[in-house]
A and B are shown apart, each in its own frame.
Chain A
Amino acid sequence: MLAFGMAVPSGGQETPVPVAICDLDQTSYSKLFADLIRDSHDFDVVRDVSSVDEAKELIERGEFPAAIIIPKGFQQRILSPEPSLEITLVLDESKAMIPSMAEAGLAQIAGKSSFGVKVTINRESVTPSGIELSGRAAISSIVMGIALVYSCFDDIAGAMARERERGTLSRLFLTPISRWSIFLGKTLSSILLTQFRTTILLAILVFYLQTPVIGNPLLIYLITSLIATTTIALGFAISTRPISGRSVVILEFALMVPLLFLTGVLRPLEMMPKATRWIAELIPYTYGNDALRRVILLGQGFEFIWVNLAILAAYSMLLFAVAAVILKRKIM
């Protein structure tokens, strides 16, 4: 409930979009325009950059999601006999809501400042496919991330609860097979299933959602396997308590809230209030979704996502350790 309250935006007060400014014109008009951006409530200027390439590189690394480029000849065009205002917006189109918000904010500032001259906003993307993605990108992450988390959670927590309720778990425990082998078996089968699920989900992305999947497929399988491992560990940690199948269903519903609102899928971390963002950064799936987005939509390689993968691995180990400690102390 707490998470829910913080995740859902509270009325009109929107978080400003973090941007960088690149003033290539360096004239009094361009400086004036830059100041208008700085004063605007729609933007939070995090730094100044000196070239478009630098802006693109930093966006790709995730330092900020957008940059406003004031092109050379900005003042000249305004002062010409047929005055016009031209501005370039460099964006990470794979992020939800940011491209449209940045463009709307910029149009507002340009409109206010130019007294009716023709305004042109050029949109440039860092996504290699170049096309406008935002709506679909969000859906791809939801489809991929949530589908995997749900199925793996059910593989473990759901299956354990059902086996416990049906009394087959104690029958399994009565064989000479160790508990660890039983858990290992469930883990391996879930990870194997994850490979099939990833394949099917990729097919859905490509053929149904028409998402341009440009990253290395092996890397995608690696990420989904790590998301699966984290979820399996979470499932075991939860299954150490004798919860009923019904509680598992309730938990699955409860899981939906942070998955949708706190893992940067519908609302990127940059656009969250501070406290919410802090919570989002504690959720391992935030890093999984981010890695998926980077590889699938930006085509980035291992060097961009290894930290995300390491965090997922660390969470898996932590949760497995928790489950092991609890299980060691009691049998059922």
Chain B
Amino acid sequence: MSIEAIGLTRKFKKLVAVDHINFQVYSGEIFGFLGPNGAGKTTTLRMLCTLLTPTEGTARVAGYDVLKESAEVRKRIGIVSDGVELYDDLTLRENLKFFGRLHRIPREKRGRRIKELLEFIGLIDRADDIVATYSSGMRKRALIAVALINDPEILFLDEVTSGLDPETAVAVRDFMRNLCREGKTVVWTTNYMEEPEKLCNRVAIIHQGKLLAVDTPENIKKLAEEVEVVEVVVENLRGETFKKIREVEGVQQASLSENRLRIVSSDSEEVLPEILSKIVNDRGVVKGVRKTRTTLEEAFIKLTRRGMK
């Protein structure tokens, strides 16, 4: 087991940002934290990284207690997160050297490691420019490189794919898979719901500081399966009509992408006639109707709604 959180809690004055959460992450796993803004993902990660002391509870990371053996924990982790930055006025190579030295990596090994990392993130020809001159995507990649300097057992990635171009984002995901194959653990948070669905072994849904579910993406979707999802292929749908559809009684969620209208409801047979008549009345053209499966995103919204009640 690589991470175990035991009653982990963090309060900021009266606000309970993380509320007695318990979970385990196994070695070689890609573990996703999924939650809306302000759910407590970053706060949890910061506690696991020993950057923030828990108000209550504790966690074991890579076999060590984050409170009592924080230096041992820090030797074995890497983190990419907002608020953990590089020295802007140094070059990337200098940053890597400096933090490599603070991690007490022997000189020879350090040199090799830096070369590998620069090749891996594709910044070898910019490595001697100061970091301040990097584009935001390059900076993200530089942050990943520095997080990996100590060859961590566990890598924490906080919204790491935001701001990356699709190609790099794919590369980062591939890289995460590779790390897992090497037996490393990756814990990451994201707001993009499709990502963990494709990538994660298990997902934790966190909402208002509480864990609502920890399971495989498949099982989490099943949890929400009592809902039905209908996809309507429609042309000429007006914004106003879409608004009306959302307000139809029984409709839990409605979303529109391209010409596909996705409706989540507890009973589609009940809501469908009304929706279809609204579309036709507003001169929309219905091209087809079919039942589909829930996505993780919909399961997530459903779970967090339930959590609020």
Query: Do the two chains belong together in a single complex?
Result: yes
Max chain B Cβ within 10 angstroms of own Cβ: one of A172, A176, A330, A331: A176
Instruction: Check B84–A174 contact: CB distance below 8 A.
Output: yes
Instruction: Check A171–B99 contact: CB distance below 8 A.
Output: yes
Instruction: Check B51–A170 contact: CB distance below 8 A.
Output: yes
Q: A108 to chain B: which residues have CB within 8 Å?
A: none
A174 to B102 Cα, complex, angstroms: 10
Asked if A173 is an interface residue, CB under 8 A from chain B, the answer is yes
Chain B positions 58-108 with a Cβ under 8 Å from a chain A Cβ: 71-72, 74-75, 77, 79, 82-88, 99, 102-104
A117 to B103 Cα, complex, angstroms: 83
Instruction: Check B51–A176 contact: CB distance below 8 A.
Output: no
A330 to B74 Cα, complex, angstroms: 17
**A181 to B: closest C-beta gap in Å:** 9
Asked if A76 is an interface residue, CB under 8 A from chain B, the answer is no
Instruction: Check A166–B85 contact: CB distance below 8 A.
Output: yes
Asked if B52 is an interface residue, CB under 8 A from chain A, the answer is yes
Report the nearest B residue to A331, measured CB to CB.
Answer: B53
**A331 to B: closest C-beta gap in Å:** 5
Asked if B234 is an interface residue, CB under 8 A from chain A, the answer is no
Asked if A177 is an interface residue, CB under 8 A from chain B, the answer is yes
**B100 to A: closest C-beta gap in Å:** 10
Q: A172 to chain B: which residues have CB within 8 Å?
A: 102
Q: A166 to chain B: which residues have CB within 8 Å?
A: 85, 87-88
Q: A177 to chain B: which residues have CB within 8 Å?
A: 102
Asked if B49 is an interface residue, CB under 8 A from chain A, the answer is yes
Asked if A168 is an interface residue, CB under 8 A from chain B, the answer is yes
A22 to B88 Cα, complex, angstroms: 67
Task: Select one of A171, A173, A330, A331 contacting B85, CB under 8 A.
Answer: A171
Instruction: Check B53–A167 contact: CB distance below 8 A.
Output: no
Instruction: Check A171–B74 contact: CB distance below 8 A.
Output: no
Report the nearest A residue to B101, measured CB to CB.
Answer: A175
Q: A331 to chain B: which residues have CB within 8 Å?
A: 50-53
- Known contacts A331-B51, A332-B51; A174/B74 CB under 8 A: yes
Instruction: Check B52–A332 contact: CB distance below 8 A.
Output: yes
Instruction: Check B83–A167 contact: CB distance below 8 A.
Output: yes
A171 to B84 Cα, complex, angstroms: 5
Q: A51 to chain B: which residues have CB within 8 Å?
A: none
Report the nearest A residue to B77, measured CB to CB.
Answer: A174
A176 to B146 Cα, complex, angstroms: 14
**B49 to A: closest C-beta gap in Å:** 6
- Known contacts A166-B88, A167-B85, A168-B86; A174/B79 CB under 8 A: yes
Chain A positions 117-151 with a Cβ under 8 Å from a chain B Cβ: none
Instruction: Check B104–A176 contact: CB distance below 8 A.
Output: yes
Task: Select one of A167, A170, A175 contacting B102, CB under 8 A.
Answer: A175
Asked if A210 is an interface residue, CB under 8 A from chain B, the answer is no
A137 to B238 Cα, complex, angstroms: 83
- Known contacts A167-B85, A168-B87, A170-B83; A175/B51 CB under 8 A: no
Q: A175 to chain B: which residues have CB within 8 Å?
A: 74, 99, 102-103
Asked if A27 is an interface residue, CB under 8 A from chain B, the answer is no
Instruction: Check B74–A168 contact: CB distance below 8 A.
Output: no
A224 to B50 Cα, complex, angstroms: 37
A167 to B84 Cα, complex, angstroms: 5
Q: A113 to chain B: which residues have CB within 8 Å?
A: none
Instruction: Check B71–A176 contact: CB distance below 8 A.
Output: yes
Instruction: Check A174–B49 contact: CB distance below 8 A.
Output: yes
Q: A171 to chain B: which residues have CB within 8 Å?
A: 84-86, 99, 146
Asked if A189 is an interface residue, CB under 8 A from chain B, the answer is no
Asked if A100 is an interface residue, CB under 8 A from chain B, the answer is no
Which 8 pairs from chain A and chain B are nearest by CB? Answer: A167-B85, A175-B102, A176-B71, A176-B75, A170-B84, A167-B83, A176-B74, A331-B53
Interface residues in chain A, defined as those with a beta carbon under 8 Å from any beta carbon in chain B: 166-168, 170-178, 330-332
Please name 6 further chain A to chain B contacts, defined as beta carbons within 8 Å, in addition to the given A174-B79, A176-B104, A177-B102, sorted by A numbering: A170-B51, A170-B85, A171-B99, A174-B49, A176-B103, A178-B71
Pairs across A and B, CB under 8 Å, 10 listed? A168-B86, A170-B51, A171-B146, A172-B102, A173-B51, A174-B84, A176-B104, A331-B50, A331-B51, A332-B51
